[in-house]
A and B are shown apart, each in its own frame.
Chain A
């Protein structure tokens, strides 16, 4: 019965002269999201609103699901279009609409008419009053409440007449592509996909880097990361996933540095490499899934030690989250099931039994000098063999 969706957007509305940039980005993201759906759609801006019109048959559920993944949308209103064939016909259409959308009639309502076409014979107040009367005649169990109606029945008079009353919540945030690009350190765990999703939700385009260590990590662990990137890409659009072979660097660190500092030094090199790729690909920051105190490498001291090697800002959207909250979000965005597949994400053999929790930056820096002989060459080789997978 529905043939269109009115897209509501919250924060874009407050932008000043840049507003059109945000709206255009939202239109672009909606079009991209709908490509995967059955049917054809046109997406257009009219009078400061965005409409998605179905120009062929379409799958309602699938379309709504796709729109619910477009950042920048705060609400999705399914709309019924009726031709303007006189007020009597409109009354019939409204009665029919209520019958189909609200099988249970024992509710309060209010009609809110708006005329974009000012030559319509009735003005807004008259439409409200007349249609209210028609609805009450048809369904005596309904009643009018102008302050807190259960059903706010919107009637918009344009070249056609639009009827809508339901708002399906969208994800909020801002359209991807309005906020620059950032590089996500994607591990295969629960946290990093959620962190990427959160930053992308603020309009940021995401690329990702994954460190694998064959033979210590398996092809399936790598596939799991690709699968996770795909889940995130359902919201963010295509992700360029950089796969870096980290084995030789890890083994070298293992040979040369104290074992309780392995993880910190390893992470410092991961950050360095990620930043290198980020700068090469015009990213404006790094994103990690770190949360204070979750593991030894995420204490305040450890974070300071890993942060020390970066010039770009490092965004850590989960920094104050408890694990439970992160898990809840990962379930919501559908990455949880993939994240908990039992493949090694980071090679546990390189984790010391008792890693330092309060690394001293000066000591870490000193021990890193043990690596001077070969590390630059190894890092360069890792960068040279960067394998890029476009995940969409």
Chain B
């Protein structure tokens, strides 16, 4: 039995999206900038995709900027904002639990002379609004907070944060990395005071190499790629038409049954957590119940190295992710796990299970069974 529980890494592409892309690559393969019919036809796919995505977010179509994925979206949001606003201020705020696609551009900006405040999080991985309120200054140009954490599934209070930021400094831009949240939640940037929001295609059963950045009209953001001036000069380069159409198709499908699917996934999450509750030395990380994301379960398994558990589950056809990528000689401990104050012993013993619309109850039952067999076996052979 093959059980794919690494959907926060990437998901299986929907057939409909893949078929549509095949048609675009082999038949309707025009360049949307071309003046002839083939170009117009390709442009139509772009327009339809924009309408679909803008509709889901309840924003204007021209506020959707297609990118190569979550990383590029985050880079444009951070570096583009810093470039365009550095005369107004050189202070940025983010959290300690962001994805490297946010943390690394922040580190780059620090090297360029910007100041960055990193908000701490509690045991469940959430920031405190009080800390945020204290951190926003007159020279704060950007706040970047992720919607859903990719490692432990904590969900941040985006709407409250947005209101707070704007009340403290109306000119501060608010960016949200929603790579893990989009496709699981209804997120309305306008209502939530969000100026920019990053989304990735392959986390929602679309193709890899595509994503978008919502940019509220009128926000001061500079491009980071220069060239042929596509997408109003904000992101040069021929549009990835098959990718864009595939992503929009996937989003359309996901949002059709969003609420019932989310409930179903919470059911799976509860089932897995209940299933391991009775096992010795297993701890669940992140927010409890409905406060955390429906599709992510982070487990710390005392006395078992995550990588070994991962491969042992793999032998039974179950694919998961090691919460903290760690090599024997140089541990690269995860920033998120450290930030929530997880015990040292457990840092290297944390695995992530992440679900998708394809995940079934039977698969979770099989996984619980496998864990109950594998964990005691691995514990017997621990380093003495």
| Nearest CB on B from A115, distance (A) | 63
Q: Which of A344, A351, A353 has the most CB of B within 10 A?
A: A344
Tell whether A103 is near chain B: CB-to-CB under 8 Å: no
Interface residues in A228-284 (C-beta closer than 8 Å to B) = 251, 254, 259
Tell whether A58 is near chain B: CB-to-CB under 8 Å: no
A344–B306 alpha-carbon span in the complex (Å): 13
Partner pick for B312 among A215, A344, A349, A351, CB 8 A cutoff: A215
**Chain B residue with minimal CB distance to A218?**
B311
Q: Which residues of B contact A344 (CB under 8 A)?
A: 307, 327-328
B308 close to A215 (CB less than 8 A):
yes
Interface residues in B291-309 (C-beta closer than 8 Å to A) = 305, 307-309
**A353 in contact with B384 given A215-B312, A215-B315 (CB within 8 Å):** yes
Q: Which residues of A contact B384 (CB under 8 A)?
A: 259, 352-353
**Chain A residue with minimal CB distance to B314?**
A215
| Nearest CB on B from A246, distance (A) | 13
**Chain A residue with minimal CB distance to B311?**
A215
A5–B221 alpha-carbon span in the complex (Å): 60
Q: Which residues of A contact B327 (CB under 8 A)?
A: 342-344
Tell whether A39 is near chain B: CB-to-CB under 8 Å: no
Residues 346-360 of chain A, each 1 if its beta carbon lies under 8 Å from chain B, else 0 = 001111110000000
A351 close to B311 (CB less than 8 A):
no
Q: Sort chain B's interface into a size bin.
A: 10 to 19
Tell whether A87 is near chain B: CB-to-CB under 8 Å: no
Tell whether A32 is near chain B: CB-to-CB under 8 Å: no
Tell whether B382 is near chain A: CB-to-CB under 8 Å: yes
Tell whether A313 is near chain B: CB-to-CB under 8 Å: no
Q: Which residues of B contact A343 (CB under 8 A)?
A: 327
| Nearest CB on A from B380, distance (A) | 8
A217–B315 alpha-carbon span in the complex (Å): 12
Q: Which residues of A contact B307 (CB under 8 A)?
A: 218, 344
Tell whether B330 is near chain A: CB-to-CB under 8 Å: yes
B381 close to A342 (CB less than 8 A):
no
Residues 359-384 of chain B, each 1 if its beta carbon lies under 8 Å from chain A, else 0 = 00000000000000000000001111
**A254 in contact with B381 given A342-B327, A344-B327, A349-B305 (CB within 8 Å):** yes
A349 close to B330 (CB less than 8 A):
no
Q: Which residues of B contact A254 (CB under 8 A)?
A: 381
A342 close to B308 (CB less than 8 A):
no
Q: Which residues of A contact B328 (CB under 8 A)?
A: 342, 344, 348
Tell whether A216 is near chain B: CB-to-CB under 8 Å: yes
A216 close to B311 (CB less than 8 A):
yes
B315 close to A349 (CB less than 8 A):
no
Tell whether A214 is near chain B: CB-to-CB under 8 Å: yes
| Nearest CB on A from B348, distance (A) | 11
B383 close to A348 (CB less than 8 A):
yes
Q: Which residues of A contact B314 (CB under 8 A)?
A: 215
**Chain B residue with minimal CB distance to A259?**
B384
Tell whether B329 is near chain A: CB-to-CB under 8 Å: yes
B383 close to A216 (CB less than 8 A):
no
| Nearest CB on B from A345, distance (A) | 9
Q: Which residues of A contact B311 (CB under 8 A)?
A: 214-219
**Chain B residue with minimal CB distance to A214?**
B311
Partner pick for A349 among B310, B329, B383, CB 8 A cutoff: B383
Q: Which residues of B contact A259 (CB under 8 A)?
A: 384
A95–B309 alpha-carbon span in the complex (Å): 71
A219–B319 alpha-carbon span in the complex (Å): 13
Q: Which residues of A contact B329 (CB under 8 A)?
A: 342
Interface residues in A54-86 (C-beta closer than 8 Å to B) = none
A343–B327 alpha-carbon span in the complex (Å): 6
Q: Which residues of B contact A219 (CB under 8 A)?
A: 311
Q: Which residues of A contact B305 (CB under 8 A)?
A: 349
A218–B312 alpha-carbon span in the complex (Å): 10
Q: Which residues of A contact B381 (CB under 8 A)?
A: 251, 254, 349-350
A344–B305 alpha-carbon span in the complex (Å): 12
Q: Which residues of B contact A216 (CB under 8 A)?
A: 308, 311
Q: Which residues of B contact A342 (CB under 8 A)?
A: 327-330
Residues 143-168 of chain B, each 1 if its beta carbon lies under 8 Å from chain A, else 0 = 00000000000000000000000000
A124–B315 alpha-carbon span in the complex (Å): 74
A351–B327 alpha-carbon span in the complex (Å): 15
B383 close to A351 (CB less than 8 A):
yes
| Nearest CB on A from B317, distance (A) | 13
| Nearest CB on B from A65, distance (A) | 32
A342–B330 alpha-carbon span in the complex (Å): 8
Q: Which residues of A contact B312 (CB under 8 A)?
A: 215
| Nearest CB on B from A382, distance (A) | 17
**Chain B residue with minimal CB distance to A345?**
B328
A353 close to B308 (CB less than 8 A):
no
Q: Which residues of B contact A217 (CB under 8 A)?
A: 311
**Chain A residue with minimal CB distance to B327?**
A342
Q: Which residues of A contact B330 (CB under 8 A)?
A: 342
Q: Which residues of B contact A351 (CB under 8 A)?
A: 383
Q: Which of B312, B330, B383 has the most CB of A within 10 A?
A: B383
**Chain A residue with minimal CB distance to B331?**
A342
| Nearest CB on A from B327, distance (A) | 3
| Nearest CB on A from B367, distance (A) | 16
| Nearest CB on B from A77, distance (A) | 45
| Nearest CB on B from A221, distance (A) | 10
A217–B328 alpha-carbon span in the complex (Å): 11
A217–B305 alpha-carbon span in the complex (Å): 11
| Nearest CB on B from A241, distance (A) | 21
Interface residues in A307-348 (C-beta closer than 8 Å to B) = 342-344, 348
A348–B307 alpha-carbon span in the complex (Å): 12
Q: Which residues of A contact B309 (CB under 8 A)?
A: 215
A345–B343 alpha-carbon span in the complex (Å): 27
A352–B312 alpha-carbon span in the complex (Å): 22
| Nearest CB on B from A215, distance (A) | 3
Partner pick for A353 among B310, B315, B383, CB 8 A cutoff: B383
**Chain A residue with minimal CB distance to B374?**
A215
A218–B330 alpha-carbon span in the complex (Å): 17
Q: Which of B310, B315, B328, B382 has the most CB of A within 10 A?
A: B328
| Nearest CB on B from A250, distance (A) | 9
Q: Which residues of B contact A349 (CB under 8 A)?
A: 305, 308, 381-383
Known: A214-B315, A344-B328. 4 other contacts (CB 8 A): A214-B311, A215-B308, A342-B330, A344-B327
24 contacts between A and B (CB under 8 A): A214-B311, A214-B315, A215-B308, A215-B315, A216-B311, A219-B311, A251-B381, A254-B381, A259-B384, A342-B327, A342-B328, A342-B329, A343-B327, A344-B307, A348-B328, A349-B308, A349-B381, A349-B382, A350-B381, A350-B383, A351-B383, A352-B383, A352-B384, A353-B383
User: What 10 A-B pairs have minimum CB-CB distances, sorted nearest first?
Assistant: A215-B311, A342-B327, A215-B312, A349-B383, A348-B328, A259-B384, A344-B328, A216-B308, A215-B308, A218-B311
